[in-house]
Structure formats: structure tokens, C-alpha cells
């Protein structure tokens, strides 16, 4: 029984720059899922298959976590912008009321 090298899995060309958006991460997930399918149908022995698949699944989980993190950041940014816009709108209304009161007092 021979165990082949697992280096081909760990040396895959998946880049993780901070500028990657969710769609790029989803493409990488698709690639890893394809690699898992290829490994399942490979002629490697069961122990080698299992080791490679575990590595690929770990990368898959890592990418999925990154997608969730990016989605959370988008939601936080969106809700933060909405809160800021709401504050600005409330402030504008208050300023408008105050200016109307001032005009009414002097009129």
C-alpha cells in the first residue's frame, strides 16, 4: 500500500487577498468542490483519499466562513449607513422646526 503525496492539494492556487469579494470566493468554493469530486473518483487508496478530502473540506469551510464574514460586514455597513442617514434626517427635521420657530417668533 503506497500513500501518494498530498502536496498537490495544499499547493492549489487559491489566493486569499483581502480584496476578494464574495463572488470570487464562491468561484473558489466551486473549484474545491470539483477537486473533492475528482478525488472521490480517483484511484488513490482510501487513506490518501480521506486525507486529501479532509484538507479540501477544511479549505471549503474556511472560504464559506470568509463569505459569511464579508456578508456580515456588508450588512453592518448598510445598517450603519441607514442609522447615519436616519440621524441626519432627524437632525434636518429638528433644524427645520427650530428655524420655523425662530421665524414665527420674529414675524
Residue 74 lies in a domain: yes
Question: With contact defined as beta carbons under 8 Å apart, do 39 and 60 qualify?
Answer: no
- The predicted structure's pLDDT at residue 29: 93
Residue 98 lies in a domain: no
* pLDDT values of the chain reduced to their tens digit, one per residue, 107 residues: 444 444 444 434 444 444 447 789 999 999 999 999 999 999 989 999 999 999 999 999 999 999 999 888 888 888 877 777 777 666 666 555 555 555 555 55
Residue 91 lies in a domain: no
Total-model pTM: 0.56
Our count of domains for the chain comes to 1
Residue ranges making up the domain that contains 50: 21-82
H-helix or E-strand containing 60?
helix 46-106
Q: Mention every residue, 6+ apart, whose C-beta is less than 8 A from residue 71.
A: 22
Residue 4 lies in a domain: no
Query: With 0-12 CB in 10 A as exposed, 13-18 as middle and 19+ as buried, what is 32?
Result: buried
Residue 11 lies in a domain: no
Amino acid at each position: 500500500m503506497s500513500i501518494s503525496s498530498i502536496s498537490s492539494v495544499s499547493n492549489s492556487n487559491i489566493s486569499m487577498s483581502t480584496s476578494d469579494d464574495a463572488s470570487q470566493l464562491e468561484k473558489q468554493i466551486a473549484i474545491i468542490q470539483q477537486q473533492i469530486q475528482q478525488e472521490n473518483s480517483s484511484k488513490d487508496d482510501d487513506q490518501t483519499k480521506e486525507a486529501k478530502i479532509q484538507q479540501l473540506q477544511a479549505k471549503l469551510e474556511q472560504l464559506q466562513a470568509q463569505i459569511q464574514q464579508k456578508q456580515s460586514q456588508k450588512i453592518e455597513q448598510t445598517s450603519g449607513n441607514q442609522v447615519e442617514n436616519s440621524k441626519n434626517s432627524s437632525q434636518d427635521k429638528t433644524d427645520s422646526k427650530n428655524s420655523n420657530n425662530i421665524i414665527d417668533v420674529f414675524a
